[in-house]
Each structure stands twice: as structure tokens, then as C-alpha cells.
Amino acid sequence: MNAIPGAVAVNTFREAVRDRVLYNLIFFALLMIAASILVGQISIGIDRMVIVNLGLSAISLIGLVMAIFIGVSLVSKEIEKRTLYSLLARPIHRWQFLAGKYAGLLLTLIVNTAFMTVGLAGALFYVGRPFVRGDLTILIAIYFILLEFALVTAVALLFSCYSSPMLSTLFTVGVYITGVFAQDIRQAGDLSKDAAVEFITRAVYYLVPNFHNFNVIAAAAHGEAVGFGLVWQNTLYTAVYVVLVLLGATAVFSGRDLK
């Protein structure tokens, strides 16, 4: 690992920890404890489904909120507070700084998600359900959630390079929602039979990150298997998309005057 992005990444992670970002884990732990107790009282048959559904949804939502709200201020906060000035006066390329900030937030999200995964496993253990082979889907679902975070963080970072945190939040949330419905938008365009509409909906489909294949929470809750082909497909898609977005962010940021 390149030493400069590594140092920036560790500092970004340290900032998140010291700014008490990981306090959300307390909320998640309380949610899991409450769910485990309640589910045990309500029914016997569907306890696993409810806990997995609730746990994975909470992991996804908490992480997305973190990715968006921390991501949009990754660069703009450093410019606003002028902490970037003394840093870029050192032999540091701007792409190295961006790569470090991105890796730092991703590391924060991975650590956060790892703790929540342990919490979810604890809840499943509490309701007395033994771990079975089908639970592998839960881990795949968590991996896909992390891939979603990687995509959203890259988009947030791109907007953070040239826009205010408030506008960046709006743009990133907009891109995320469009990405969730990308498949539906394309299908709607295909059904319209209008060449222009079809062109626009297809352009949107290819431009925004397509989250359609990333949500396997329902499958995980029902203990259904997920093919490894999808794992590879999503991994490759995320890697290519993130690299392209980070290259775009570098192009924008490298020419920017830090007034």
C-alpha cells in the first residue's frame, strides 16, 4: 500500500473514531437486543427471518447514512477548515489525498459493519437458532451492502470535490435513489416506445450505479442461496465503477483552485 494514501486513510479513520461516529453501534446493539427479546415473545417460527431482515436493513441504512454524510464533507471540510493547505504543500499528489480519504471512510464503514455483523450474529445466537450452511447468504448480503457503501462513498467524494456539503448530499441521495430504481427506469423507457425517452432512460441506467443486483436481504432472511456468479459480477462492477468515479474526482480536483 502506498504510504501517503495509507497515512491519509488512517487519519480519516481516526477522525471518525474521535468524532464519535461509531457511537451508532450503541443504537444498533440496542435495536438487536430489543428485536431478540420481542421476537422470542411473538413467534417461534419466523424469529430468524425477522432478525435477519431487521439486522441487515439496519446495517445497510446506518452505513448508507454514514457514507453519504461523511463522504460529502471528506474534501470540502478539509478545504473549508484549511487543513488541506499544509498537507498539499508537501510532496503529495492530489489523487493520493483523494485515494486516502476514500480508503479511510471505507475502512470506517468496514469496521462499523463488522461490529454490527457480530451484533446480528449475537442476536441470532440469543434466540437459540443454530448456525446453518444457509447463513452464508447473510454474509454475502453483508458483502453486497459493503459494495454499495463503496459505490456511494465514491459518488459522495466526487461531489465533495466541487460542491458544498448540502448540495453534495442532495446529489448523492439523488444518485442513490435513481440507482436503486435504475432497472425500473430502464424498463419504463423500453415500454414507452419513444426513441428519445428510451435513449434517456438507458443513459441514466448506465450512468448511475445500479443497485438492483445488490439487495439480497430477502433471500438471506429466507435462507435462500445466492450464486457465486452474482458475487463476482457485483465485485467487478463495483471495482470498475469506483475506479471510474475516483478518476473523475481526481480530474475535477486536480484542476481546482483551493481559494
Partner 1 sequence: MAAAIIEIEGLTKDYPSGFWRKRWKRSLDHLSLQVEEGEIFGFLGPNGAGKTTTLKLLMGLIFPTSGTARIRGRSIEDIAMHAEIGYLPEHPYFYDYLTARELLDYYARFSNYSTAERNARVETFLKRVGLSSAANVQLRKFSKGMLQRAGIAQAILHDPKVVFLDEPMSGLDPVGRREVRDIILALKQQGKTVFFSTHILSDAEMLCDRVGVLVDGKLHGVGSPREMVSVEMQSMEILFELLEGRALPPRIADQARQIGGRYRIAVPEQDVYVAIEQLRSCDARILSMTPVRPTLEDYFIRLVGRERAATHEEETVLR
Contacting positions for partner 1 (CB under 8 A): 3-4, 7, 11, 14-15, 18-19, 81-83, 85-93, 255, 257-259
Nearer to partner 1 by Cβ, of 79 and 219: the residue is: 79
Nearer to partner 1 by Cβ, of 229 and 257: the residue is: 257
Nearer to partner 1 by Cβ, of 211 and 253: the residue is: 253
Least distance in angstroms from the C-beta of 149 to partner 1: 23
Nearer to partner 1 by Cβ, of 82 and 222: the residue is: 82
Least distance in angstroms from the C-beta of 140 to partner 1: 36
Q: What is the DSSP letter of 82?
A: T
Least distance in angstroms from the C-beta of 112 to partner 1: 18
**In terms of Cα–Cα distance, which of 16, 108, 118, 11 is closest to 63?**
108
Nearer to partner 1 by Cβ, of 45 and 91: the residue is: 91
Least distance in angstroms from the C-beta of 38 to partner 1: 38
Spell out the SS3 assignment of 187-254.
Answer: HHHHHHCCHHHHHHHHHHHHHCCCCHHHCCHHHHHCCCCCCHHHHHHHHHHHHHHHHHHHHHHHHHHH
Least distance in angstroms from the C-beta of 83 to partner 1: 6
Nearer to partner 1 by Cβ, of 22 and 88: the residue is: 88
Residue 151: partners with Cβ closer than 8 Å, 6 or more residues away: 179, 209, 211, 238, 241, 242, 245
Least distance in angstroms from the C-beta of 11 to partner 1: 6
**In terms of Cα–Cα distance, which of 239, 29, 248 is closest to 159?**
248
Residue 112: partners with Cβ closer than 8 Å, 6 or more residues away: 21, 22, 24, 25, 62, 63, 66
Q: How far is CA 205 from CA 71, 72, 168, in A?
A: 23, 23, 21
∠ Cα 26 135 219 (to 5°): 95
Q: Is 213 in contact with 203 (CB distance < 8 Å)?
A: no
Least distance in angstroms from the C-beta of 93 to partner 1: 6
Nearer to partner 1 by Cβ, of 70 and 120: the residue is: 70
